[in-house]
Amino acid sequence: MNAGTAAAGAKPTTPRVEKPEAGPLREVWLRFLERPSAVVGLAFVVALVAIAALADVIAPYDPFATDWGAVRSPPSLEHPFGTDEVGRDLLARIIHGARASLAAGLTSVALAVVLGLPLGLLAGYAGGIVDGAIMRLTDALLAIPFLILAIALAAFLGPSLTNAMVAIGLSATSIFVRLSRAQVLAIKAEEFIEAARAVGNPPWRIALRHILPNIVPAILVQATLTIAAAIIAEASLSFLGLGQQPPAPSWGSMLNVAKNFLDQAPWMAIWPGVSIFVAVLSFNLLGDGLRDALDPRQRR
């Protein structure tokens, strides 16, 4: 567009600067960074994941080691978070408990997405009887409160952390069926889907290559927010004895024991309570931040 155009006849030299262009992901990231609460949420989530992953290394004590000489001792230099009713170090148990919470949150939501997304895609894209059948089933599941359903399923499957994850995942599936179906219906009406058909794309390619990538942002946001709900659900199930089984540490079961010692050893309840609160808040902040950053209304 400059002097090069004037030099007619000369071999056109295209500047081949193969620098990665500002893709849509980069823009989303920049918008995400503009939101302090989102960045805080992300930082806490990353910290949480790091703590859970490195639990064996960073925990100051063995979370199972009892110390009958230091039963229910208050926070001190030796035991920064105090100890529980059999003298186990609370900091170590909180750190190891993060594993149960995160594993439950991530696994159950992964299960819910893996089951819900294809069903929603199918319902939205195929329509007709398939849609009707899937959606009636989903409506029936949605009619039962999330936690009640999870408790019922966990009780049915038997108490263990794995079963609690399955129960939470199944309970959350209908959320993703419904969301992905609604997203598919919205995207299906877009002109570029008609254009994709006019190019000769077969239906499966339109569903997977043209519709799916466009519904991923909404699913991602919902998944992040559902992880927060799943962490609470896991804590609740463990509190009720349907999740992580003692003596393995879990924030929910720690709260259950702590409720018996609220006046003598309040720290036993405070730390797991604060941990659940922080974990849930971080995922919610992250989810909200992602939603704002991915909001298509802010695209040019």
Partner 1 sequence: MGVPLLDIRDLTVAFASDGGTVHAVNGISYALSEGETLGIVGESGSGKSVHVLAMLGLIPMPPGRIERGEVLFQGRDLLTLDDRALRRVRGGEIGFVFQDPMSSLNPAMTVAAQIVEPLRIHLGLDGAAARRRALELLDLVRIPDAARRLDQYPHEFSGGQRQRVMIAIAIACKPKLLIADEATTALDVTIQAEIIGLVRELKREIGMAIVWITHDLGVVAGIADTVQVMYAGRILERGPVDDLFADPRSAYTLGLLRSLPDLAGGTKGRRLQPIEGAPPDMRDPPVGDPFAPRNRYATERCFREAPPLAQAPGAAPGHLVAAWYDLRGLLARERAAP
Q: How many CB atoms lie within 10 A of CB 71?
A: 14
Is 299 among the residues that bind partner 1 (CB under 8 A)? yes
Cβ at position 22, least distance to partner 1 in Å: 8
- Please report, as a single letter, which amino acid is at residue 73: S
* Residue 44 burial by Cβ neighbours in a 10 Å radius (0-12, 13-18, 19+): middle
User: Which H helix or E strand runs over 281?
Assistant: helix 267-294
Q: How many CB atoms lie within 10 A of CB 118?
A: 15
Strand ranges, E, within the chain: none
Cβ at position 220, least distance to partner 1 in Å: 13
Q: Count the residues of the shown chain that bind partner 1, applying the rule CB under 8 A.
A: 27
Nearer to partner 1, 22 or 77 (CB): 22
Nearer to partner 1, 16 or 143 (CB): 16
Nearer to partner 1, 139 or 190 (CB): 190
Nearer to partner 1, 21 or 263 (CB): 21
Cβ at position 207, least distance to partner 1 in Å: 13
Is 69 among the residues that bind partner 1 (CB under 8 A)? no
Residues numbered 8-47 forming contacts with partner 1, rule: CB under 8 A: 14-17, 21-24
The DSSP secondary-structure symbol of 296 reads: G
Nearer to partner 1, 155 or 185 (CB): 185
Nearer to partner 1, 13 or 57 (CB): 13
- Please report, as a single letter, which amino acid is at residue 259: K
Cβ at position 35, least distance to partner 1 in Å: 21
Residues numbered 196-255 forming contacts with partner 1, rule: CB under 8 A: 196-202, 209-210, 213-214
Radius of gyration of the chain (CA): 25
Cβ at position 39, least distance to partner 1 in Å: 25
φ/ψ of 89, rounded to 5, equals -70, 125
Round to whole Å and give the CA distance between 96 and 84: 14
Question: Contact at 8 Å (CB) between 268 and 82?
Answer: yes
Nearer to partner 1, 85 or 292 (CB): 292
Round to whole Å and give the CA distance between 111 and 177: 12
Cβ at position 191, least distance to partner 1 in Å: 4
Closest of 288, 286, 247, 296 to residue 106, by C-alpha: 286
Cβ at position 221, least distance to partner 1 in Å: 15
Round to whole Å and give the CA distance between 96 and 27: 36
Question: Contact at 8 Å (CB) between 19 and 266?
Answer: no
Contact mark string toward partner 1, 165..204, x via CB under 8 A: -------------------------xxx-xxxxxxxxx--
Nearer to partner 1, 86 or 196 (CB): 196
Helices (runs of H) and strands (runs of E) counted in the chain: 13, 0
Reduce the DSSP state of residue 28 to 3 states and report it.
helix
Cβ at position 139, least distance to partner 1 in Å: 25
Q: What is the binding site for partner 1 (CB under 8 A)?
A: 1, 14-17, 21-24, 190-192, 194-202, 209-210, 213-214, 299-300
